[in-house]
Amino acid sequence: MSRIGKKPVPIQGVTVTKTDGTIKVKGKLGELQMKIHPNMKVDIQKDEVIVTRPDDQKENRALHGLTRALIANMVKGVTEGYSKSLDIVGVGYKVEAKGEAALFNLGYSHPILLMPPPGIKFEIPIPTQIKIFGSDKELVGLMAAKIRSFKKPEPYKGKGIKYTGEVIVRKAGKTAGK
């Protein structure tokens, strides 16, 4: 049996409901919903959610742990939330807040204006750093990847947008010589 799938998901301070194959999780930071695969059975008890599978087929074993992990991510998202932080490295590269939006100057001939989707908030503590907050783990990661794709870090000088704590493998430049 799946080690992840058989663990119950604790739900203190969160309301979880199941209707027509859809799980809805409501907490202090918002509400999330997800469609459950028809093979998975979700039992909602007073203080925990238990996911069970019908048999040991390969597909059902894979879906068992996945479904439990997605529900746990939804519960954590509506109680604590998720965040990603990105650093902008390079001379003249910066980001600034324009209301809810973020305006990026990354050495292109034009600035890039990015509006956050519903449920996502940007915080810009310094002009070379942006923090992304939200209750949906997938959406926070997607926004961070989209921002990083504006100017991926290059391997020679390390200029570009990188995740905080990401290590950029540097290459040696050309050596002059005859």
Q: What is the pLDDT of residues 25-64, one digit of tens each?
A: 999 999 999 999 999 999 999 899 999 999 999 999 999 9
With contact defined as beta carbons under 8 Å apart, do 22 and 35 qualify? yes
- Determine whether 175 is exposed, middle or buried from the number of CB atoms within 10 Å of its CB (0-12, 13-18, 19+): exposed
- Please give the average per-residue pLDDT across 102-117, as a whole number: 95
Question: Residue 2: pLDDT above 80?
Answer: no
Number of helices (H), then strands (E), in the chain: 2, 13
Query: What is the model's pLDDT at position 78?
Result: 95
The continuous run of DSSP H or E covering 70 comes out as helix 58-79
Give the lowest-confidence range in 1-5, 82-86, 95-99, 156-160. Answer: 1-5
Decide whether 9-79 matches 82-163 in CATH topology: yes
- Please give the average per-residue pLDDT across 121-141, as a whole number: 96
Q: Does the domain formed by 82-163 have CATH 3.90.930.12?
A: yes
Q: What is the CATH code of the structural domain delimited by 9-79? A: 3.90.930.12
- Which pair of structure tokens corresponds to residue 91? 């001379």
Query: What is the model's pLDDT at position 178?
Result: 64
Percentage above 70 pLDDT, the chain? 98
